[in-house]
A and B are shown apart, each in its own frame.
Chain A
Amino acid sequence: MAITRDGTQAFGIEDSPVTINAVTYVMENASFTYGSNVPEVVDGNGEAIGRTIVPSPVEGTATLQLAASDTALPALGNEFTTSGDRNADTYIITEVSDTQSSGDYEKVNISFYAKLN
């Protein structure tokens, strides 16, 4: 699947355009989580004697504003790239929620994680 680079916007700011599958959206309320898995080594009594923090892929959620009600929704597996100082990476969409609208404006929520390679 093609990755579309779109400018040099720095994520972490409130709103920013992003291109997904050749369609431009305005991304709002983007949130990125840097999580981890923490496997434990336990002794014979089951008490932890050691832990290792293994970073997991960055996960996030965001709201996308669509140009119009007939704008294509991003699809599962679509990729998008963010640039800038923070959170610059390629992400894969894992969830697309229902479109919500108010007046003439259409928004959709997405979840994503950072592409491994």
Chain B
Amino acid sequence: MPKSAAELWEDYLPRLAEAKEQDREEITRAFLPLIIPLGRFKVVPPTIERLLWLEEIKSPFLMGDREPTKNDVIAFLWVCSPDFRVGFDHGRKFGRRHWLHFSLKWRWYANEIGEFCVELMKQLGADTEQDVGPGKPMQYDWLPTFVDGFASQYHWTEQDIMNIPVYRVGYYAQAMMSRLDMKGKTAKFAPRQDRVKKEYLMEVNRMKAA
């Protein structure tokens, strides 16, 4: 006998509880000062500024538009290094210092960085099923909007804002919108819980269509 929508929901409740816990853990991790080992190197979760540098150098790990080269690997590891400093010479020294190691293992690093970036994008709310077509254009002015929002609400300096790990930006933005939203019109999003609910709704639709 087919299940009703409410009976199916009962089946999904344990998964929803698990997803809720995962969302909570993800928020906790976003606020910890993590340094992630990657081979013989260490990387930090990208900040807004580091993300902009990666965008500026058109890193394929961020853009996803071409296969990465050895130089792309070096550039990514330098920009995400805890020792990163702005300046072409600093980056060149980093590359020279590890040239032999990179020559031998850059493909392995390219795969690891690729996985790191996929995970990063997932945590930023991107989903493999995400519709990024013309109906959902990315806002071109997201950066000044964020800087303006954080500066006016929290009185942080521009540099403080640029140094926020991107993991946290969405959480702050959501908290800020909820606080400022006097009429309660802002929907709250929780990636893992929302995914379970979406799967439930798709399953209900399949049941109805059957």
List the interface of chain A (C-beta within 8 A of B): 6-9, 15-17, 19, 24-26, 28-29, 31, 61, 63, 65-69, 71, 97, 100-105, 107-109
- Max chain A CB contacts within 10 Å: which of B7, B131, B201, B205? B201
Residues on A with C-beta less than 8 A from B89 are: none
Chain A interface helix/strand/loop/mixed: strand
Q: What's the Cα separation between A9 and B12 when bound, in Å?
A: 13
Q: Which residue of B lies closest to A69 (CB)?
A: B131
- Once A15-B16, A61-B184 are accepted as A-B contacts, the answer to whether A7 and B200 lie under 8 Å apart by CB is no
Within 8 A of A (CB), among B136-173: 136
B187 within 8 A of A: yes
Shortest C-beta distance, A29 to chain B (Å), equals 7
Residue of A24, A97, A103 with highest tally of chain B CB at under 10 A: A103
- The list of the 9 closest CB pairs from A to B, nearest first, reads A7-B6, A67-B201, A107-B187, A102-B189, A105-B194, A104-B127, A103-B125, A26-B197, A100-B187
Give the Cβ gap from A13 to chain B, nearest Cβ, in Å. Answer: 10
Whether A109 contacts B197 in the complex (CB less than 8 A), given A6-B6, A7-B5, comes out as: no
Interchain CB contact (< 8 A) of A17 among B9, B136, B185, B189: B9
